[in-house]
Structures are given as structure tokens and as C-alpha cells.
């Protein structure tokens, strides 16, 4: 094979590679997300922490609940890279296993709140009338209270439980989803394609959920990411106060709860500092992803 043939083969391979790459990023939203550096950094951090939490046994040999009185308050070392807590439990292990619960609470609550809020918003926003007025008043009443105060009241009434916490977050978080979905429906239901669908005799709910809702899916995804971050912070705050998930369950908030002890706060920062750093990084990464999704799904920003 001549040098010219080899050069032509390289050019052809490069062209094919470029074509495949263009096909991969053909979707405008994906392309804009990839162009947003902060969004990409956030996605990398998010996936690393999520992967390590989900597959925690691959990264640590310890049990997150096993007490070892011979290893109390050990400083970070090769055996315990983040040290141990007041009863000898490995802090790194508790961060990974606690992340499963905290992320599960945040993501699960956001999904349930989205399902409730978006369903009500689509139906009430499209149909209007008495249903819209009733649901709007309920959402206004719930949003009139500071969410954390309302959560504290409900936790006191229902008691400390993982599922109670998810239920409370969902019940207090759906109004913002509802108002967002409702506003999207109010603006989109007057579009010409909706009028054409009505003229063809297509049922209202099919128009609302199948034809209008997909056009509003971008803001919904953004709201899910931001709600997930908010619920994770709420869980950490409640658990720090001793009002969240029961203390025997490892969560990021329960790990941070030890920082209430002034002695631990000053003399054993390895117990709470790595956990605080992980929570901060995870929340920031979710916010970066949300910002990227918001910019990428904005139809007014063409590119």
C-alpha cells in the first residue's frame, strides 16, 4: 500500500469518526449539555458519587453498622481512609451506604412530588374550571407555610421513618411542580396544533398528556433535579436535628449529627468534614446539571 493510499484511509477513517460523533450529538439538547463545561463537570461528579454509593461493597470491606470498640475515634489511615467514629464504625463506609438512603430519599421524593404535581397541573391547567380553582387554593395554602416548618410539624405528628419522610417531602413538594406544569399548559393549550387536534375529535386528556406535555418536559426535568437537591438537604437538616431517619440508619444527615458534640467538632473533624464535603459536592453537581438542562431545553436559545 502506497503512502497516498494510507493517507486516504486515514482521512476516510477520520471522516467516518466525525460523522458518527455528529450523529451522537445530533440532538440539540444533548449537544448543548456537552458544550456546557459546568454541566459536564457536574455530571461527572454526580455519576462518580452515585456509582460509589450504589456499589459500595466494591470500595469498602466494612459494615456500616458494625461496632468495633477497639477502633474508636481512629484518625484517617490506610485501614480507615476517613477514620472511625465514636463507636468504631468506618466513616468512609457510612458515607457510601448513607448516600444510598439520602439519594434515595431525595430522588424518590422528587419523583413522587413530580408525578402528583404534573398530573394535577396538566389536568387542571388544560381543563380549568372548578378543579383548577380548588387545586390552586390547596397549593397556595401549602406554599404559604415555610416548607421546613411544615415538614417539622408533619414529622412530629407521623414520627421518624424513612417512608414517612418520603411521603412528607412529596406532599409538601408537589405544589411547585403543579404550578409549573399548570403554567406550561395554560400557554401551550392555545397553540394552533392543539386546536387542530381538537378539530379532529381527539380526546382532551390524550391531547394534554400525549401532545402537549412532551413540549413542557424540559422544565419538568430541571425541576426534578433541583427538587432532588432540596430534599437531600432537607433530609440532612432534619437528621442533623435528630428528627429525620432513625439514628441507627446510616444517612448523610445522621453522620453529620455527631457534629453537635463540641468535642467531636473540634478534635475529630474527620467524622463530619468528609461527609459535609460529599454532600456539598453532590448538591453542587445536581445544581450544575439542572442549570445545564435549563439552558439546553430553552427553545429561545438556538444553537
Spell out the residues 6+ positions from residue 131 whose beta carbon is closer than 8 angstroms to its own.
Answer: 123, 124
| Residue 42 burial (CB count, 10 A) | 23
The pLDDT-based confidence of 18 (bands split at 50, 70, 90) is: very low
Name the residue among 192, 302, 173 with its Cα closest to residue 232. 173
Top-ranked range on mean pLDDT: pick from 112-126, 136-150, 203-217: 112-126
- Nearest Cα neighbor of 92 from 62, 119, 118 is 62
Average pLDDT over residues 102-123: 90
Q: How confident is the model at residue 133 (pLDDT cuts 50, 70, 90)?
A: confident
Residue 26 has pLDDT above 70, yes or no: no
- 30-82 pLDDT tens trace: 777 777 788 889 899 999 999 999 998 998 888 888 887 787 888 888 888 88
Dump pLDDT digits (tens) for 198-237: 777 788 788 888 878 887 777 888 888 888 888 998 888 8
Which long-range contacts (C-beta less than 8 Å, at least 24 apart) are formed by 44-53?
44/285, 45/281, 45/282, 45/284, 45/285, 46/282, 46/285, 46/286, 46/289, 49/99, 49/278, 49/281, 49/282, 49/285, 50/99, 50/103, 52/96, 52/99, 53/96, 53/97, 53/99, 53/100, 53/103
Rounded to an integer, the average pLDDT of 175-186 is: 86
The pLDDT assigned to 12 comes to 46
Of 181, 112, 172, nearest to 143 by C-alpha is: 172
How is the chain split into domains, by residue range? Answer: 45-74+97-296
Whether residue 92 is predicted with pLDDT greater than 50 in this model: the reply is yes
* The pLDDT of residue 300 is above 60: no
Check whether 13 has a pLDDT greater than 90. Answer: no
Residue 56 CB neighbours (<10 A): 20
- Homologous superfamily in CATH for domain 45-74+97-296: MetI-like (1.10.3720.10)
74 contacts 83 by C-beta, under 8 angstroms: yes
pLDDT tens for 144-163 read 878 778 888 888 888 778 88
Phi-psi region of 175 (alpha: psi -120 to 50; beta: other; left: phi over 0): alpha
Q: Is 17 exposed, middle or buried (0-12, 13-18, 19+ CB in 10 A)?
A: exposed
pLDDT, tens digit (0-9, with 9 covering 90-100), for 253-287? 888 888 777 777 788 888 888 888 999 999 999 98
Give the pLDDT confidence score for residue 163 in this predicted structure.
87
- pLDDT score of 264: 79
Instruction: List Cα–Cα distances, 126 to 1, 73, 78, 204, in angstroms.
Output: 67, 59, 60, 8
Q: What does the pLDDT read at residue 54? A: 92
Mean pLDDT, the chain, whole residue set: 81
pTM of the prediction? 0.80
Q: Comparing 142 with 44, which gets the higher pLDDT?
A: 44
Amino acid at each position: 500500500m502506497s503512502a497516498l493510499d494510507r493517507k486516504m484511509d486515514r482521512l476516510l477513517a477520520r471522516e467516518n469518526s466525525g460523522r458518527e460523533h455528529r450523529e451522537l450529538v445530533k440532538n440539540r439538547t444533548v449537544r448543548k449539555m456537552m458544550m456546557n463545561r459546568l454541566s459536564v463537570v457536574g455530571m461527572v461528579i454526580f455519576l462518580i458519587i452515585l456509582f460509589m454509593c450504589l456499589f459500595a461493597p466494591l470500595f469498602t470491606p466494612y459494615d456500616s453498622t458494625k461496632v468495633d470498640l477497639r477502633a474508636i475515634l481512629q484518625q484517617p489511615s490506610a485501614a480507615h481512609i476517613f477514620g472511625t467514629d465514636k463507636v468504631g464504625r468506618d466513616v468512609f463506609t457510612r458515607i457510601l451506604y448513607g448516600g444510598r438512603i439520602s439519594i434515595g430519599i431525595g430522588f424518590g421524593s422528587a419523583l413522587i412530588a413530580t408525578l402528583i404535581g404534573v398530573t394535577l397541573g396538566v389536568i387542571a391547567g388544560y381543563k380549568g374550571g372548578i378543579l383548577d380553582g380548588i387545586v390552586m387554593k390547596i397549593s397556595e395554602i401549602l406554599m404559604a407555610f415555610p416548607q421546613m416548618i411544615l415538614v417539622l410539624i408533619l414529622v412530629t405528628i407521623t414520627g421518624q421513618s424513612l417512608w414517612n419522610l418520603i411521603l412528607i417531602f412529596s406532599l409538601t413538594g408537589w405544589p411547585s411542580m403543579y404550578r409549573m406544569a399548570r403554567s406550561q399548559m395554560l400557554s401551550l393549550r392555545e397553540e394552533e396544533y392543539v386546536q387542530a387536534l381538537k378539530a379532529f375529535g381527539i380526546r382532551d386528556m390524550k391531547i394534554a398528556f400525549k401532545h402537549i406535555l412532551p413540549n413542557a418536559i424540559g422544565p419538568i426535568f430541571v425541576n426534578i433535579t433541583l427538587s432532588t437537591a432540596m430534599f437531600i438537604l432537607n433530609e440532612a437538616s432534619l437528621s442533623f436535628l435528630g428528627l429525620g431517619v432513625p439514628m441507627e440508619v446510616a444517612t448523610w444527615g445522621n453522620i453529620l449529627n455527631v457534629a453537635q458534640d463540641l468535642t467531636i467538632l473540634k478534635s475529630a473533624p474527620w467524622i463530619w468534614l468528609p461527609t459535609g464535603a460529599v454532600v456539598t459536592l453532590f448538591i453542587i453537581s445536581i445544581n450544575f446539571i439542572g442549570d445545564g438542562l435549563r439552558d439546553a431545553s430553552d427553545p429561545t436559545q438556538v444553537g
